[in-house]
Amino acid sequence: MKEIATLLRRVNRRLLKAYGKPSRSPPPLDNKEDPLDELIYITLTQRTHAPGSSKAYENLKRRFPEWARISESSAEYVYSAVEPSGLAPLKTKRIVRIVNDVAQREKTVSLDFLRSLSDEEAQRVLTKELRVGQKTARAVMMYSLGRDVFPADTHCLRILRRLGAIARNVKHETANRRIEDVVPPGVRYDLHVNMVHHGRAVCTSRKPKCTACVLDDICPKVGLGDG
């Protein structure tokens, strides 16, 4: 693990040089400072393209300036707002459930109470009580709560696999449970944000631009043909 941590610190330095130091406020990549805003936004981004999820989030915010109003609305009205993000029936159901679960737990539709919890307790509430995945929970914790965690999205996992930092065949949810044994503290925020930039621009799923990559000389390109 020490060798991998050393490699990833080196990767982080190069990506910082290439993409710069990510902002904390406002968060980059269209993420949100409010934890419930972020949870709903991340739910919309799952298995979709960025413009569609951003449009769906804007629709929801316009229709529901207070998230509590979702509970008072019809599923069809929520659905029509969510539709640009794709998988609208599933995402509508999840968003309505999240709002209802938060309201039942807190008697108010807000996740601000997470700010006073430890990392372990905040993650437990998100994954066990609100029933969201590890990556989603860590995105909320990292972007909205300022915690030193690492949500491994598709771009991050692709780059980590090609670097040989994680096994090629490990599934996303399994990888997210184990990822913090691999990515050292102190670099997680910068590394996550810049890996997303790098995955979109250079280390793409198909036809990655290896000759233009700042990591080319230290990347063994494990499973490169797998995407």
- Euclidean distance between CA atoms 110 and 130, whole angstroms: 12
77 found inside a domain: yes
Number of domains in the chain: 2
- ∠ CA 89-170-114, nearest 5°, is 55
Last residue of a domain, one of 113, 145, 177: 145
Check whether residue 123 and residue 201 sit in a common domain: no
pLDDT in tens, 169-202: 877 777 777 888 899 999 999 999 999 999 999 9
DSSP code at position 212: G
95 found inside a domain: yes
Check whether residue 158 and residue 207 sit in a common domain: yes
Check whether residue 40 and residue 87 sit in a common domain: yes
Check whether residue 121 and residue 42 sit in a common domain: yes
The residue range of the domain holding 7 is 2-22+152-226
pLDDT in tens, 94-151: 999 999 999 998 888 999 999 999 999 999 999 999 999 999 999 999 999 999 999 9
CATH code of the domain in which 119 resides? 1.10.340.30
**pLDDT confidence of residue 223:** 66
Check whether residue 48 and residue 140 sit in a common domain: yes
29 found inside a domain: no
**pLDDT confidence of residue 167:** 87
In 3D space, the residue among 43, 173, 53, 46 whose CA is nearest the CA of residue 101 turns out to be: 43
Check whether residue 41 and residue 138 sit in a common domain: yes
Check whether residue 141 and residue 161 sit in a common domain: no
